[in-house]
Copies of this chain bind each other. A is one copy, B any other.
Amino acid sequence: MEPRVSIITLGVANLARSRAFYEALGFHASSASQGDIVFFQAGGLGIALYPRAALAEDANVAEAGSGFRGLTIAHNVRAKEEVGAVLAEAQAAGGRMVKPAQDVFWGGHSGYFADPDGHLWEVAWNPHLPILADGSVRFPE
């Protein structure tokens, strides 16, 4: 298995609402979006929106589930000040502020928002992790 991720698929309750949320945040829906799936290019991978029940069915698992999902998605920014700005954007777009921007123990600055379906996004400024010109991040070997 090559160490890479191609798509993160977010199960959603209301496709139009979630599409509008991500579009308001600056994501652009690909023309490959059709029927009940929406694709956004997100750097070198895709974020897909798909009805939650259909996603469970596709994965061959029971749909029931609640509470913390045990997983977060981080969006790193280039400057400390951008953390609060992106969290404010997410809130204005209909997201929920989960943790306001604050200094964190590892030397960075971060906060969290939840999308309309409760998927957790961390917005972080990490002075130890450079963001390349193309938006990707590079960890030391």
A interface residues with partner B (beta carbon < 8 Å) = 1-11, 25-28, 30-32, 39-48, 52, 55-56, 58-76, 86, 89-90, 98-99, 104, 112, 117-120, 122-124, 128-129, 131-132, 134-141
Using Cβ atoms and an 8 Å threshold, which residues of chain B touch A112? 59-60
What residues of chain B lie closer than 8 Å to A129, measured between beta carbons? 6, 32, 46
A73 to B6, CA, bound (A): 8
Chain B: minimal CB distance from A121 (Å): 9
Q: Is the CB of A6 within 8 A of B139?
A: no
- B98 pairs with A61, CB closer than 8 A: yes
A-B contact pairs, 18 of them (CB 8 A): A1-B25, A4-B43, A5-B8, A6-B137, A9-B72, A9-B74, A11-B71, A30-B140, A32-B139, A39-B139, A43-B45, A44-B132, A46-B129, A56-B70, A59-B112, A60-B112, A66-B66, A66-B67
Instruction: Give complex CA distance A32, B106 in Å.
Output: 12
Q: Provide the bound-state CA to CA distance between A139 and B131, in Å.
A: 22
Residues of chain B within 8 A of A71, CB atoms compared: 8-11, 55, 69, 71, 119
Q: Find the B residue at minimum CB distance from A138.
A: B41
